[in-house]
Chains A and B, each alone.
Chain A
Amino acid sequence: MAPTYFNEMYQNGQVRPPYRHLEDWTAAMPAELRSLKQAEAEALFRRIGITFAVYGEGGDPDRLIPFDMFPRVFTASEWARLERGIKQRARALNAFLVDVYGRGEIVRAGRIPARLVYQNEAYERAVAGIVPPRGVYSHIVGIDLVRTGPDDFFVLEDNCRTPSGVSYMLENREIMMRMFPALFRESRIQPVDRYPEILRRTLASVAPTKCDSDPTVVILTPGHFNSAYYEHSFLADLMGVDLVEGQDLFVEGEFVWMRTTEGPKKVDVIYRRIDDAFIDPLCFRPDSMLGVPGLMDVYRSGGVSICSAPGAGVADDKAVYTFVPEMIRFYLGETPILQNVPTWQCSKPDELTYVLENLSELVVKEVHGSGGYGMLVGPKSTKEQIAAFAERVKADPGNYIAQPTLALSTVPTFVDQGIAPRHVDLRPYCLVGERVELVPGGLTRVALKDGSLVVNSSQGGGVKDTWVLAE
């Protein structure tokens, strides 16, 4: 049976209210005008130099990710619910991090297995006992969501380290406003351009205890060969902070300094866009050339804040993901607003039985696998493949989890033949500091190939502007 997909614009032949203006807009746009506009958008992207891969997919740094001009739209009330759910999740994830690097109450209470936390590769022993300023480990939480129905949103994964792509959210909007000002006059679309300002305020709000003046914030980048370098430089520019590489920083006395043309300048908050393993060769990987020797000592003694804090990765691990609803109940005493994708743990006998009986409809993954290896996509596999995989699961059930194949919603998209529905996902960026804030918008990725559910830009994915309407 072919699954039915939720079309975000059309339901039962009717246009859903948030997309009302867009119907007239497309009707008034002949094919020639459309290709002109598409070329114009591409030229704008190239001119500003926004050519990078999202989510560290690598590839040519001058490659352009296809931009689809048809926006994705949420109503104010749809967004209000998403916003509550996202903020709730971001708060719980941070509470979890402070807990597992502290007393570990959630483990003692038996709500999450100790093995999953303390033997996790992403658990950073070096920061055990540290409570970062305001108790925040993850300051920018990127939560990947998919929609399957009018009110059905599922969290695919949490990104607590350094989620990328926010520059697309900002630039997509900038380009849409330049090309279609009339659309913005007709619809009341909430702005996203305060993001850099809020990010800066968030970062400044977690300045270390030893900082007694207006904190100096910097962004730490691996360098201009990194695929997300454009984003690092774009954010630094919009926030009005310096973009530094490891070689620009050094440790002396109790502080971190940057090399400037006027001599050394003290740095208080580092928004790092490099992985834990690389930030301090004295503490983590000794062969790293990207980091700053001695940085972790200064961090431990409260001389500098690092965002996200080292060790934050343990909260966005695939196996830990399953327990996020539990974290929400445990730390916040609330009911989770956003659902996890239902996950069957093959380690539990009754769930294993269900998985084995329904393999042809499920996606089965290795707990610690990544990049699509060691994985079975039931609906796209042959009987033989399924039978062979079943044997592997039976041999080592604890190593596998299973999830249903999700029916990602679609949004109309410009394609060669005109306009057609294509599958989308969503990544909003939640900021956590003194306050928990979310700008109304995010990055919508779209699978441009007909029927494809893969939105990754390395596999034919593109991006769309994401609108949240005002009341």
Chain B
Amino acid sequence: MLSRTADNLYWITRYMERAETMARLLDVGARMSLLPSTGEGYHSEWESLLQASGTAEGFARKYGDPVQRNIESYFFFDRDNPSSIASCIGRARENARIVRGALTTQVWDALNGAFQEMRALERRPRSELDLSVLTDWTMRHSAQLRGAIDGTQLRKDGWDFLNLGYFLERADNTARLLDVKYYVLLPGVEFVGSGLDNYQWTTLLRAMSAHRAFHWAYGGEVTARKIADFLILNAASPRSLRTSIEATTVHLDRLARGYGRTTAAQSKARAVLAELAETRVSDIFDEGLHEFLTRFIREVATLGALVHDVYLSGDQR
């Protein structure tokens, strides 16, 4: 397959996964803002979300103070924000248009349909659109695309590149969401274990659509350790780092077998997975959750760069 085609496929799913994360972030923000304010020295939850998603500067330049309505617009509609849901869907669809021939009709329909509906949404007055409508809409289209890919794409190299995009982006996004909660949202150490702390953890779980799954798996009180275990180490949790990296290795192994060539990306993914498999939650807190996540995000970035070098750049001779 043409390297550039593989690159386009990989970015389709990265952008769509990112769009879904943005919708989840919006959900987190909306729920947290329903909490009574905790007083001075405490940035609003929205401010924290902007910082977490790396868009605070761009937002401040354009809108100034973080008002919920503006943030919703910025996260959802704003094309000036490269991570907004509209930007992500637009770029995913553009990538798909470029490699239309490598996609099934259903996959193209799912993306093009989302894009056309997005244009229709943009024409409607904002007052008619509740935030929950917008986030549900995003999740639905994201699910539809994933279903179309799983249900109709040939199990060849293109399918592997689509999945690599999904799982590398998801590994990165889950780590970031977790880090947001731990590092950015909570106003100070004195709040650890407080009602606010627990409420925020629960909200995070809800945003990850994992609230019930968590209770089935762990039961009882929501604690940082349990959640870290669930979202980092648990191989049954669909958005955990472990699950994401495991799927990444599966697809890199398939590519290596298909092409008859082992790669540095494959070795790297295996090494990251091996570490996750051996890590206990106490190790993570000994290292420091924030430190662990920062290191992990860097590892995922390295892995992404290796995938680029060996498959997507076309420089491999």
Contacts and interface: CB of A to CB of B under 8 A. Distances in A.
A447 interface: no
A263 B260 CA distance: 12
A248 B99 CA distance: 14
A244 B259 CA distance: 21
Contacts of A259: 2-4, 313-315
Contact of A49 (B99, B108, B255, B316): B108
B254 to A, nearest CB: 12
A258 interface: yes
A236 B101 contact: yes
Given A261-B6, A261-B157, A49 B1 contact: no
Contacts of A261: 1-3, 6, 157, 161, 255, 259, 311-312
B223 interface: no
B101 A233 contact: yes
A185 interface: no
Contacts of A46: 116
B44 interface: no
A264 B3 CA distance: 10
A247 B4 contact: yes
A237 B100 contact: yes
Contacts of B313: 259
A47 interface: yes
Nearest to A46: B116
B94 interface: yes
A224 B94 contact: yes
Interface centre among A233, A234, A261, A264 (most CB of B within 10 A): A261
Contacts of B316: 263
Contact of A260 (B94, B97, B161, B314): B314
Nearest to A62: B119
Contacts of B6: 261
Nearest to A237: B101
B98 interface: yes
B306 to A, nearest CB: 14
Interface in A231-251: 233-234, 236-237, 242-245, 247-248
B111 to A, nearest CB: 10
Contacts of A237: 100-101
Interface centre among A46, A47, A234, A247 (most CB of B within 10 A): A47
B61 interface: no
Interface in B89-103: 94, 97-101
A49 B96 CA distance: 11
A24 interface: no
Contacts of A234: 100-101
Interface in A257-279: 258-264
Cβ-closest 9 pairs across A and B:
A259-B314, A237-B101, A259-B3, A224-B98, A261-B311, A261-B6, A262-B259, A233-B100, A261-B1
Interface of A: 46-47, 49, 224, 229-230, 233-234, 236-237, 242-245, 247-248, 258-264
17 contacts: A47-B109, A49-B100, A229-B98, A234-B100, A237-B100, A237-B101, A242-B2, A244-B2, A247-B4, A248-B2, A258-B2, A259-B2, A259-B313, A259-B314, A260-B1, A261-B157, A261-B311
Given A49-B100, A234-B100, A242-B5, 16 more contacts: A233-B98, A233-B99, A236-B101, A244-B2, A247-B4, A248-B2, A258-B2, A259-B4, A259-B314, A259-B315, A260-B1, A260-B3, A261-B1, A261-B157, A262-B261, A264-B317
